[in-house]
Amino acid sequence: MKSQGPVARARELREALDLFNYQYYVLDAPTVPDAQYDRFFRELQALEEAHPELRTPDSPTQRVGSAPREGFREIRHKVPMLSLNNGFSEEDVLHFDRRVREILQREQVAYACEPKFDGLAVSLLYRDGRLDEGSTRGDGETGEDVTANLRTIRAIPLRLPLDSPPPLLEVRGEVLMEKRDFEALNRAQAARGEKLFVNPRNAAAGALRQLDPALTAQRPLSFFAYGVGEAVGWPIPDSQGELMERLAQLRFPVPSERAVVQGAEGLLRFFSKMSEIRPALRYDIDGVVYKVNAFSQQQELGFVSRAPRFALAHKFPAEEALSEILDIDVQVGRTGALTPVARLRPVFVGGVTVTNATLHNEDEIRRKDIHIGDQVWVRRAGDVIPEVVSVVLAERPPQARAFVMPSRCPICGSRVVRSEGEAASRCSGGLYCPAQRKQALLHFAQRRAMDIDGLGDKLVDQLVDSGLVRTPPDLYGLGLATLADLPRMGDKSARNLLEAIDRSRETTLSRFIFALGIRNVGETTARDLARHFGDLPALLAADGESLQQVPEVGPVVARSILDFLGEEHNREVIDRLLDCGIRWVAAPALAQRPQPLAGMTLVLTGVLPHLSRDEARARIEGAGGKVTGSVSKRTHYVVAGADPGSKLERAQELGVPVLDESQLLSLLNQDLSKS
Ligand code: IVH
């Protein structure tokens, strides 16, 4: 052995370590003591150290090799990763089998049955027998490149144990965390005082999406194979059952709880057996999967939209448990919707301890007749939010209390309103309410509103979380030093942001109105309001009747505006914004304004010397005209500036009169309407 050259010895060590690894992680049947594994491992490390050319990417020493990354690259799947149709009852299974038999014109069909793992689907691409690329399912078409993270999973072979491996083999399966590993992980989290994971699936998902593979390696992930995608130079067997055997030979973990059965009867027997052993399984499953066994028959059956006709996921029924409503809290969402949430006596259901359940809205509470103090059935299925199914009315205690939606926002104290025909109650303090802060700022800063370039999600999070910004006017008080001190913000970006904030002071009334984030007031309505009222004080003073004189503003929109402007907190924020120097060119109210362009359609092209596109549009609209994007025979004027586009040519072709900026301005000042 000692006379062996380093090349041969390294290969021998790698093969031995691969085998020990397989026995330990896949078969769960180690054949050597840990100490021997470690000795081999260190010897290989030393050899590779001395002869770096021997260090191959598929070496067992290279599982955690690469550095953290910034984000994940997208990978387009060569063969789409499909989803499965779900069945929930015996009837669904019988129906599935009936259709399969009808299409195949068979008396009886053989099915491969497998557990339905509750983890994350991944694809592993082996090029020339080496794990080269691994990705998540994503939307089925494109996933994320998580190769480095998948390499850390010991149950996944880095190398196929074949003398002449195929040029390409794509193995698909599920990454998951075994229950015992999950429990150990949560014990460790608790000991460190860190947040607990809700269930093994979430823990696995979090681990797989770590940007630093070293962190993934610390989380005990497992893998099960259940299919192949693309294969070149690897003859695909005839059936799913045989495929699983072949994958097992390649040292992929496949579930031993699998079977090939005949007909619907066989399916249902498999289902009840799996339901029985489910609690004893080492991993979570949320049902079983049936696949027509013969691949030729699978092909004949084909697909409907995104799911194969040859397979069915038979889900376990959602679990229910009895609990008690201790109280009902109200949460305020990012958009101001108030959601009543039941605080429950903790109950273990569907694999997790549930302490809250959403009650959706007031009507839902009435419909289910839920009182505080009631005994209730709670249901939880898969990853969905737990819900209260029903009340045990016979057990209602005399002191049970009905729920009343608060009239003031529990977060900011603004009035709570509920529009006619809407299920949700909402906080009306949109500009002021801490629950809606981030949303309000993002809306305010967006391009079509105040257009503060660079103020995106991440920055808003930082500004709000650090307490620097509460409401939009705070933006205008930010200083260079404070901003430049924020993590990941340099001097240059801070300067750019301040400039963008400063630039936004000069705006138009319609942008400003849109930026306020009044419910039901989009860009178009904001423009209509601006045109109609001409300036802000007129809008602020409007009542329901005058609001409804604005085109397209009906009772619902009028109500939203009145609710918003009627909230003192919002008024204060608006006043502060004006104090920050936000300004626009005001116009008299439409009713008092000459309408020289009433009924006319204009098209803008090129860069005007003084007016921005927005200003030109606002002025034309203020004069009763309409601005459209393309020139036709019905266009009254084309306004052309420098570098006009093809619109100018088109105007000339059609004989549409062309104006320059000064001609437009004089037209605007002329009263052409016959009064
Ligand atoms: S086969 C063409 N087999 O279920 C069928 N999927 O709803 C492709 N899953 O994203 C999937 N266990 O994550 C298959 N034994 C199993 C499975 C399984 C779990 C998941 C998989 C996929 C989802 C489809």
pLDDT higher than threshold 50 for residue 675: no
Q: Looking at ligand 1, which residue's alpha carbon is closest to its atom 13?
A: 121
Domains 320-402 and 509-590 alike in fold: no
User: Residue 624: what pLDDT?
Assistant: 84
| 83 Cα: distance to centroid of ligand 1 (angstroms) | 7
**Strands 222-232, 375-380: pairing kind:** unpaired
Q: For atom 14 of ligand 1, which residue has the closest CA?
A: 226
Residue 671 scores a pLDDT above 50: no
Q: pLDDT-based confidence at 70, cuts 50/70/90?
A: confident
Distance of CA 230 to the CA centre of its chain: 28
| CB of 258 sitting under 6 A from ligand 1 | no
Q: State if residue 114 touches ligand 1 by the CB under 6 angstroms criterion.
A: yes
CB contact burial 538-573 (16+ within 10 A = b; e otherwise): bbeebeeebbeebeebeeebbbbbbbbbebebbeeb
Long-range contacts from 524-532, C-beta under 8 angstroms, 24+ separation: 524/552, 525/550, 525/552, 525/553, 525/557, 527/621, 528/552, 528/553, 529/553, 529/561, 530/618, 531/590, 531/621, 531/622, 532/589, 532/590
Give the model's confidence band at 382: pLDDT under 50 very low, under 70 low, under 90 confident, else very high.
Answer: low
Average pLDDT, the chain: 92
Q: How far is the CA of 353 from the centre of ligand 1 (A)?
A: 26
Per residue in 524-571, pLDDT (tens digit) is: 999 999 989 999 999 999 999 999 999 889 999 999 999 999 999 999
Query: Phi/psi at 584 (nearest 5 deg)?
Result: -150, 170
Q: Is 268 helix (H, G, I), strand (E, B) or coil?
A: helix
Evaluate: CB of 83 within 6 angstroms of ligand 1.
yes
Q: How far apart are CA 185 and CA 177, in angstroms?
A: 10
Q: What is the pLDDT of residue 672?
A: 37
Q: Which fold has domain 430-503?
A: DNA polymerase; domain 1 (1.10.150)
Going by alpha carbons, the residue nearest to atom 21 of ligand 1 is: 121
The amino acid present at 669, given as its one-letter code, is: N
The H helix count followed by the E strand count for the chain is 24, 26
Q: Ligand 1 pocket check: which of 79, 82, 84, 136 to mutate, most ligand atoms within 8 Å of Cβ? A: 84
Atom 16 (ligand 1): residue with closest C-alpha?
Answer: 116
Between CA 113 and CA 120, with CA 114 as vertex, the angle to 5 degrees is: 145
pLDDT at 2 over 80: no
- Look at ligand 1, atom 2, and give the residue with the nearest C-alpha: 82
List phi, psi (to 5°) of 455. Answer: -95, 85
Residue nearest to atom 6 of ligand 1 (CA): 116
Question: Measuring from atom 12 of ligand 1, which residue has the nearest CA?
Answer: 116
Q: Interhelix angle for 555-565 vs 568-579, to 10°?
A: 70
Give the model's pLDDT for residue 673. 35
List, edge to edge, every strand of the sheet that includes 86-87: 86-87, 311-315, 285-292, 110-117, 259-262
Whether ligand 1 lies within 6 angstroms of the CB of 429 is answered as: no
Residue with tokens 């958009």: 335
472 lines ligand 1 (CB under 6 A): no
What band does 674 get if pLDDT is binned at 50, 70 and 90? very low
Q: Is the CB of 77 under 6 A from ligand 1?
A: no
The superfamily in CATH containing domain 6-62 is Helix hairpin bin (1.10.287.610)
CA of residue 138 to ligand 1 center, whole Å: 13
Catalytic residue (choose from 78, 116, 195, 458): 116
Which residue has the least CA distance to atom 17 on ligand 1? 116
Q: Is 191 exposed, middle or buried (0-12, 13-18, 19+ CB in 10 A)?
A: exposed
**Ligand 1 within 6 A of 226 CB?**
yes
pLDDT of residue 236: 94
Q: Which residue has the higher pLDDT, 452 or 214?
A: 452
| Class at the top of the CATH hierarchy for domain 320-402 | mainly beta
Does the beta carbon of 103 lie inside 6 Å of ligand 1? Answer: no
**What count of Cα atoms within 13 Å lies in the side-chain half-sphere of residue 121?**
20
Whether residue 435 has its Cβ less than 6 Å from ligand 1? no
C-alpha 558 to ligand 1 mean position (Å): 50
Domain coordinates in residue numbering, the chain: 6-62, 90-314, 320-402, 430-503, 509-590, 594-674
SS3 breakdown of the chain: % helix, strand, coil, rounded to 5? Answer: 40, 20, 40
pLDDT digits (tens, 9 = 90+) for 321-372: 999 999 999 999 999 999 999 999 999 887 778 999 999 999 999 999 999 9
| Residues in a beta bridge with 116 | 287
Q: Which atom of ligand 1 is nearest to the CA of 140?
A: 10
Give the pLDDT confidence of 170-196 residue by residue, as tens digits: 999 999 999 999 999 999 988 988 888
Determine phi and psi for 318, rounding to 5 degrees: -60, 140
- Report pLDDT digits (tens) over 392-409: 999 999 999 999 999 999
Name the residue among 217, 179, 224, 222 with its Cα closest to residue 200.
179
Q: 594-674 belongs to which CATH class?
A: alpha beta
pLDDT at 512 over 90: yes
173 within 8 A of 121, measured Cβ to Cβ: yes
Count the Cβ atoms, other than its own, within 10 Å of residue 112: 23
The distance in angstroms from the start CA to the end CA of the chain is: 110
Ligand 1, atom nearest to 310 Cα: 2
CATH superfamily of 509-590: 5' to 3' exonuclease, C-terminal subdomain (1.10.150.20)
Contacts of 606 (CB under 8 A, 6+ apart): 640, 641, 642, 643, 644, 645, 648
What distance in Å separates the CA atoms of residue 310 and residue 194, rounded to the nearest whole number? 44
Cβ of 84 below 6 Å from ligand 1: yes
Spatial separation of the C-alpha atoms in residues 460 and 449, rounded to whole Å: 16
- Per-residue pLDDT, averaged over 209-222, amounts to 90
d(CA 19, CA 27): 10
**425, 335 Cβ separation under 8 angstroms:** no
- 455 CA distance to ligand 1 middle (Å): 40
Which stretches of 517-610 are assigned E, i.e. beta strand? 601-605
- Distance separating alpha carbons of residues 208 and 216, to the nearest angstrom: 6
Q: Ligand 1: which residue has its CA nearest to atom 24?
A: 83
116 is catalytic: yes
Nearest 10 degrees: Cα torsion 363, 367, 373, 374: -160
Cα of 33 from ligand 1 centre, angstroms: 36
Ligand 1 binding pocket includes 255 (Cβ within 6 Å) = no
* C-alpha 288 to ligand 1 mean position (Å): 10
Q: What confidence category does residue 613 fall into, taking pLDDT thresholds of 50, 70 and 90?
A: confident
Q: Is the beta carbon of 289 within 6 A of some atom in ligand 1? A: yes
Residues in the chain: 675
Q: Report the CATH fold assignment for 90-314.
A: D-amino Acid Aminotransferase; Chain A, domain 1 (3.30.470)
pLDDT at 200 exceeding the cut of 80: yes
Lowest-confidence region among 226-235, 248-257, 587-596, 612-621: 587-596
pLDDT at 597 over 50: yes
Token couple for 215:
């962190």
Atom of ligand 1 nearest to the CA of 174: 13
pLDDT tens figures, 95-120: 999 999 999 999 999 999 999 999 99
CA of 249 to the centre of ligand 1 (A): 21
pTM of the model: 0.59
* CB-neighbour burial class of residue 102 (10 A; exposed 0-12, middle 13-18, buried 19+): exposed
- Per the structure block, which two tokens stand in for 387? 């819900």
Is there a contact between 262 and 107 (Cβ–Cβ < 8 Å)? Answer: no
Beta bridge partners of 123: 135, 172
Structure tokens at 631: 């020139």
Q: How far does the centroid of ligand 1 lie from the alpha carbon of residue 226, in Å? A: 8
Q: CA–CA separation, 9 vs 433, rounded Å?
A: 68
Burial bucket for residue 311 (CB in 10 Å: 0-12, 13-18, 19+): buried
